[in-house]
Amino acid sequence: MNMWTQTIRALAGSLALAFATFGVAEAEDAGVQPAFVADQLPPGQDVSDTVVELAGWVVASRDSEGYPFAIIDKRAAQILVFGADGRLRGAASGLFGSAAGDHTAPGVAGLALREIPGRDRTTPAGRFVGGYGPSIDAGRVLWVDYESAVSIHPLLGAPAERRAERLASPSTDDNRVTHGCINVATEFYERIIRPTFASGGVFYILPDRAPLAETFPEFAQSRELAQRNGGRRAGRARH
C-alpha cells in the first residue's frame, strides 16, 4: 500500500468518526469511500482536524443543502472535494492568493489583474455558493464567489511564476502566488472538480487570520458543544 492510499484510508476513518461526533445517523456508510478517490496531496502531508470536523459538521447539519462541497485550507494549501452524498471524492494541493488575509477589497472584481494592489490579492475566507458561469477573459469558469471574482481553475500564469513547480512542491510556503483565485492541477480539475461541481456547489474556505468562530459561527458553536459532551452526538435535529 503506498503512502497516498494510506492517507486517504486514514482520512476516511477520521471522517467517519467526525460524522458520528456531529450526529450523522449514516456515519458508517458515509465513511465508506468509493473505489476511486483522487489523492494528489504530497506524500506524508496530513489533513487538519479542523478540516475533518468541518466536513463532519457539513454533512450532519446538511449545510451544503444536498450539493457537493469543497473544504479549502489555505494554510495547508489543500482542497478536499466531497460529493453530494458527503463522501470524499478527492484531495489535492492548491495555489492561493499571494497576500495572506481573508478580506475582499471593495471593487476588486472590476480591476484588471495588474491593477490589483499586492495587499488585496487575497483568497477570501467564508462559505460561498458557486457554480459555472461566463467570465470576461477566460471563457466559462467555476466561480467560487462571483462578487469577488474568485474562481477555481487549472494552472494558469506566466512561466516566471513557476506555478506547476510550486504546486508540486511538498512545502506549503510557496503556494501563495495567485491574484486571489484557486489553482489546481489540470488532471485533478478535469477528473474531480469539473464533474463534481457541474451543477454548482458550496465552498468552505478556512481563514488565514480571522477567528474560526467569526468565519463559521454555527460550526464553531457545534464543535464546542461536541467537545463539551465528550464527543457525543451534537448534530441538529431533523425537521
Using one digit for the tens of pLDDT, what is the confidence trace for 69-91?
999 999 999 999 999 998 899 99
The whole-number pLDDT of residue 30 equals 46
The whole-number pLDDT of residue 28 equals 44
pLDDT along the chain (239 residues), means of 10: 51 63 52 60 86 92 95 96 92 94 83 82 96 86 92 87 92 93 95 96 97 96 85 39
Q: List the helix and strand counts (H, then E) for the chain.
A: 8, 11
Rounded distance between C-alpha atoms, residue 155 and residue 111, angstroms:
21
237 in any annotated domain = no
Q: In what order do the strands lie in the sheet with 88-93?
A: 38-40, 88-93, 78-82, 69-73, 201-205, 126-134, 140-145, 150-154, 182-184
The whole-number pLDDT of residue 104 equals 84
| CATH number of the domain where residue 155 is located | 2.40.440.10
E strand map for 104-170:
126-134, 140-145, 150-154
**Assigned C-alpha cell, 5:** 492510499
The whole-number pLDDT of residue 18 equals 62
Q: Which positions ≥6 away from 115 have C-beta within 8 Å? A: none
Whether the CB-CB separation of 25 and 236 falls below 8 Å is answered with no
Dihedral sign, Cα of residue 231, residue 233, residue 234, residue 235: positive
Q: Which positions ≥6 away from 72 have C-beta within 8 Å? A: 78, 79, 80, 94, 123, 182, 203, 204, 205, 206
The whole-number pLDDT of residue 41 equals 86
239 in any annotated domain = no
Residue 220, φ and ψ in degrees, nearest 5: -60, -40
**Assigned C-alpha cell, 123:** 483568497
127 in any annotated domain = yes
Number of domains in the chain: 1
pLDDT in tens, 19-48: 666 665 444 454 444 545 678 888 778 899
The whole-number pLDDT of residue 73 equals 97
233 in any annotated domain = no
122 in any annotated domain = yes
The whole-number pLDDT of residue 233 equals 45
212 in any annotated domain = yes
Domain region containing 152: 3-228
In angstroms, how far is CA 47 from the centroid of its own chain?
11
The whole-number pLDDT of residue 71 equals 97
Q: Which positions ≥6 away from 237 have C-beta within 8 Å? A: none
133 in any annotated domain = yes
